[in-house]
Amino acid sequence: MPDKAKKEFDRDSISNTLIVAIGLSLVCSVIVSSAAIVLKPIQEKNEEEFRQQIILDVAGLMQPDADINLLFESIDSRMVDLETGEYTDAADPNTFDALVAAGDPAMGIAIPKELDIALIGRRAKYAPVYLVMDGAEIDQVILPVYGKGLWSTMLGYLSLAPDGNTIRGLRFYAHAETPGLGDQIDKEPWRAQWAGKLVYDGGDEPQIRVIKGTVPANAPDAMYMVDGLAGATLTANGVTGLVQYWTGPNGFGPYLKNFREDITDE
C-alpha cells in the first residue's frame, strides 16, 4: 500500500479499534435483546405451565404426558381478599405474582413483626385460590403458601379437603434448602405424611406443626403433627411457620372460615 493510503487507513488506530468494538457491542446487544423479546412469551408460557403442573400435582390430578392446559380446566382459579376472606375481581388469578404484589405499596401490606411467623416481611392484599371441581361440587381447595426456611424462601401449595381443615397435600416447588437436609421438604416419604392431617382443632388458630423427632403413634394430637426433618430442624420450623401463617387469621384464615361455613350451610 502506498504510504499515503496507509496513513489514511490504519487498521490498528485507536478510532478504528473503538468503531469495531462499539459496532460489535451494538450488534451483540441487538441479538441478545431480540432473543429476549422473541423468547419471553415462550418463557412465560413455560412458567405458567410449570405452575399449573405443580397445582395439578398437589391436587393429585397430574398424569404423565397429559395435556396440562386440558387438565387445568377442571380447576376454578379465583382471587381472594385476604382481609375479608371474600372473593374479589381486584386482580387476575392467572397472572398474579404474589411476591411482586407484596412489594407494591398499593397491592401489598407490611406484616407486623410479632405476626410474621412466615418471616416474609410483607404480603399482597389478595391471593389466588384454586378450587378443584368434581362436577358442580368442590373436591379440594389449593392455597399458595410461602415463607423463609434456613437459606431461602420456600414456595409451595397446600391442598385442603372441602371441610377446609383436612390436608390433602403440601408440595414445594421452589426453595434453596440444602440437598440431603432441608430439601427433604419436597421429597417422599416426608411429603406423604401431610395427607390426612388436620389444620384446626375447632378454633381459628392453626394447630398443625412439624415437631422435632417422630410423632408418637398414640399421641392424642397426632393428627396435628408431622415428623421432624433429621438434621434440618430450622427448615422444618420454617415449614411450620409458613403453614401456620397462611392458614392463620392473617393469611387465608378468614377465607377458610367462610369456606367452612359455606360448605356447612349447603
What residues pair up with 157 in beta bridges, in sequence order? 144, 171
Residue 104 neighbours by CB under 8 Å, 6+ apart: 124
Choice between 18 and 230, CB closer to ligand FMN: 230
Nearest approach in angstroms of CB 47 to ligand FMN is: 25
* Mask for 190-229, x = binds ligand FMN (CB under 6 A): ----------------------------------------
**Which residue is closest to ligand FMN by CB?**
182
Choice between 208 and 229, CB closer to ligand FMN: 229
Which one among 21, 32, 230, 261 touches ligand FMN, defined by CB under 6 A? 230
> If binding means CB under 6 A, how many residues of this protein chain bind ligand FMN?
12
Residue 59 has a CB neighbour count (10 Å cut-off) of 23
Which of 195, 194, 188 has the alpha carbon at shortest distance from 239? 194
Nearest approach in angstroms of CB 227 to ligand FMN is: 11
Which one among 178, 193, 207, 258 touches ligand FMN, defined by CB under 6 A? 178
Nearest approach in angstroms of CB 190 to ligand FMN is: 13
Nearest approach in angstroms of CB 151 to ligand FMN is: 6
Choice between 117 and 127, CB closer to ligand FMN: 117
Nearest approach in angstroms of CB 27 to ligand FMN is: 44
In this structure, which amino acid lies at residue 143? L
Residue 232 within binding range of ligand FMN, rule CB under 6 A:
yes
Residue 181 within binding range of ligand FMN, rule CB under 6 A:
yes
Residue 118 backbone class (left: φ over 0; alpha: ψ -120 to 50; beta: rest): alpha
By CB under 6 A, the residues from 134 to 153 that bind ligand FMN are 150-151
Q: Binding residues for ligand FMN, per CB under 6 A?
A: 150-151, 177-178, 181-182, 230-235
